[in-house]
Structure 1
């Protein structure tokens, strides 16, 4: 490491913090309980930041990545985790990218621990450069309010003498009132009419409709199997999509079951006359439900099943006291019709100077 990449004022050392690395699957496994306990202490309750989510991503989708987890301990107590992964591009010049575990299929990733402690974030970044000599730092989708964003940008300016490219990724979320009647009356008359029409036409064909929720490790696998079947049918014209990748489907299957053991998985199934009409794959914590995906039977597109499915999900979640339905990334028009408000996450990228850095930025 050159002089510019040594300790700086911004990472003024907390000598009581020791940084170590974990690059083996067995070591990753051993972190499970400490990792989740740290997440709870730091109030990082999103399922995407749990050990289970990261482990299942690594297990199923990390085959072309190197494990590069950094661990911060203060007097043997875990105080921070940098859940990094490395990937080398097949180019004549070595191009190495450092990312978070779970990138590309996960919203709202971050360092695990007290993100307000910029010193630990600086230590993580400097240690990652020293140990693995990456050319591109590409960190996907921090929550916009995360203090880690400012810490990463400051580190890049001070240590690399480079500016981060900050890409704002749009999303939408619905703020839920305490009563469904208030939510319903807050929708536009046109939207209420659309939902009623969809339900009436669907009931004319299938009779009474029911909404079931799979939450237990016993019930989730069957519900997810149906969800994947319908998603594959919906995307059959796009054979290169995620739902046609076996490793992604295996990841969703196993992570949904793993999170169900912690009460974080909710798969909603709308049925009529014994037939599955649509499913919503959700994950959640106290107060917040994350809508990861909606699957509706493509043969029933004319019935607009998705509108009534989402409406029933919202009604169910209001009844159990949830305050936000987060549609995650993407600003599809249908989300706005449910009263969703804009939100943003931040993707930070910074490449080192020189040929390898420029090549890394071009490849990503």
Structure 2
């Protein structure tokens, strides 16, 4: 434990963010401690799982065991940083974090991130945990503690459910502290509410959706012997089948759809929460959907299929069988990732997710933004006030397409704009004026040269 990382470890009522709603004020003597050793991490197991069971918003991977397993596999060049809020000695909030010391975007920046995430990606939909009924108050205390921490340059909270109060609470606190902050929204997860029976589910769909479900199911059954079943035993055999189908499809970008970890599947199987929905075609498994039950919802975490049967939409057919099976066992919801191949995204609206990035200084943000553009990744659009990007950035791709000379000029423009911006941020008016004058002269010479050729 390193108390020096948080200058103020006890945050009384007076230290909270001001609000007119007295009911949302944090309780007195809420204490925030930093957990940074494996021994302390292990000691959190019972309190972690208690909060996870109580939390209004969580995921199937938000258990202590899964996070510990993830940390054991990914701890290289990372430092454990878990914030724990306590009231009267009892944990009321946990923000699992790690410090990435490998250098963000090759800039040497130290990034503070959620445990189980990589940069902006949150493939397992993990997030902080809060005591039910006290989420807003605890989130304010933890947001202040996050901003008070030392030793990082960029704080990246990867996309998480918008109902979790920490992201926007942190963004507002950063804005009040005059820190640069970017907020992005997405609808990556789809939540499908399930009625009491299959016929009621079909009636809830549009006529076009019902026709598509029936057509795809009948077309597949008419072309190939097909059987749906749920695989309940043998995690290793399940993983082997998933990996085999994945290799057959040669899906790009493994980081977007990581293989489910064996430990998490074993834990879910032992608790009776694991479901591997399978579609057997011509005697072999042609599509699988790995799901876990979370309270009264079924959450599909990964799907794979045999590309030889792609024209019959095996994943779409499989998911409809899975929904029918989930209704039969009393599930009230069915969740899946949007935007994946052969998914019926229009069956359910996506839920709002929020991604927050906080920069320690203007210079850090400028360097981060410049590197993001150079790597081809457009920075997110912030909903809070932030310094506008140079105009040349928005035209960079078009200039690059015009030819190598235009691309070289665009790169030079960007470098000069960045230097001018850095000088303005540092308050060096003379340097900023000199750089701006030099830039104008160079641009004029380039324009006259182009006109004379």
Q: Into which bin does the TM-score normalised by the smaller protein fall?
A: 0.7 to 0.9
Which of 9, 17, 23 aligns to 1:10? It is 17
Instruction: Check 1:99–1:16 CA distance in 2 against 1; reply closer, same or farther (3 A cut).
Output: same
Residue 99 in 1 paired to residue 113 in 2?
yes
- Higher Rg: 2
Aligned residues: CA RMSD = 3.3
Task: Decide whether the 8 Å contact of 1:173 with 1:324 is kept in 2.
Answer: yes
User: Which sections of structure 1, spanning at least 5 residues, go unmatched?
Assistant: none
Matched, 1:114 2:134: no
Q: Counterpart of 1:231 in 2: which secondary structure?
A: helix
1:230 partner SS:
helix
* Matches of 1:230 and 1:2, distance apart in 2: 47
Larger relative contact order (Cα-Cα within 8 Å, sequence gap ≥ 6)? 1
Aligned residues: 353
Q: In the alignment, does 2:63 pair up with 1:68?
A: no
Query: Alpha carbons of 1:195 and 1:123: their partners in 2 closer, same or farther (altered >3 Å)?
Result: closer
Alignment TM-score, normalising by the size of structure 1 = 0.83
**d(CA) in 1 for partners of 2:110, 2:369:** 11
Partner of 2:353 in structure 1? 345
Residue 302 of structure 1 deviates from its aligned partner by 2.0
Question: For each residue in 1:29-67, what CA deviation from the matched residue of structure 2 results, as whole angstroms up to 9, or x when unmatched?
Answer: 332222001222334452132213322322234434321
Cα separation, 1, equivalents of 2:224 and 2:342: 27
Structure (1 or 2) with the greater strand fraction: 1
Which residue does the alignment assign to 1:265? 274
Distance 1:261 1:61 in 2: 25
Within-5 A mapping of 1:243-258: 248-249=258-259, 252-258=261-267
- Among candidates 336, 358, 363, match of residue 366 of structure 2: 358
Task: Pick closer, same or farther for the CA change 1:313–1:117 going to 2, 3 Å.
Answer: closer
User: Could you list the runs of 5+ residues in structure 2 that have no partner in the other structure?
Assistant: 19-24, 373-453
Please list the CA deviations of residues 68-109 of structure 1 after superposition, one character each: whole Å capped at 9, or x if unmatched.
111222232222211011113448964111111122243543
Structure 1 residues 70 and 152 mapped into 2: Cα distance closer, same or farther (>3 Å)?
Answer: same
Q: Residues of 2 paired with 1:314 and 1:322: CA distance?
A: 9
Structure 1 position 256, deviation (Å): 1.7
Aligned mates of 1:350, 1:282 — CA distance in 2: 34
Verify the 8 A CA contact 1:136 1:361 in the aligned structure 2. no
Instruction: Check if 1:235 corresponds to 2:235.
Output: no
Decide which of 159, 163, 166 is 1:141's aligned counterpart.
159
1:159-174 matches, cutoff 5 A:
159=177, 161-162=178-179, 164-171=181-188, 172-174=190-192
Question: TM-score scaled by structure 2?
Answer: 0.68
Q: Within 5 A, what are the aligned runs for 1:240-319?
A: 240-242=253-255, 248-249=258-259, 252-319=261-328
Specify the SS of the correspondent of 2:31.
strand
